[in-house]
Amino acid sequence: MAFIELKNINKTFFPNTNREHYALKNINLVINKGDFITIIGGNGAGKSTLFNAISGVFPLDSGTITIDEKDISSTKEFERAKYISRVFQNPLDNTAPRMTVAENMALAFNRGGKRTLKFSKNKENLILFENLLKNLNLGLEQKINTEMGVLSGGQRQAIALLMATMKAPQLILLDEHTAALDPKTQKKIMALSEEKIKEKNLTALMITHNLQDALTYGNRMLLLHQGEIVRDFSEEEKKKLSVTDLYKIMVELDEKDN
pTM of the model as a whole: 0.93
More confident residue, 198 or 123: 198
CA 160 to CA 119: how far, in whole Å? 18
CA 206 to CA 174: how far, in whole Å? 4
pLDDT of residue 1: 58
pLDDT of residue 111: 72
CA 218 to CA 235: how far, in whole Å? 8
pLDDT of residue 225: 97
pLDDT greater than 80 at residue 10: yes
* Domain residue ranges in the chain: 4-96+171-257
More confident residue, 53 or 115: 53
| Rounded (5°) CA angle 34-36-38 | 160
| Rounded (5°) CA angle 215-220-222 | 85
More confident residue, 125 or 216: 216
List of residues 6+ apart from 176 with CB closer than 8 A: 48, 88, 89, 207, 208, 209
CA 244 to CA 174: how far, in whole Å? 24
pLDDT greater than 70 at residue 36: yes
pLDDT of residue 199: 93
Instruction: Strands of the chain (E only): list them.
Output: 4-13, 21-31, 36-40, 62-67, 70-71, 84-87, 171-175, 204-207, 220-225, 228-233
Query: In the CATH scheme, what architecture does the domain 4-96+171-257 have?
Result: 3-Layer(aba) Sandwich (3.40)
CB 102 within 8 A of CB 126: yes
CB 10 within 8 A of CB 25: yes
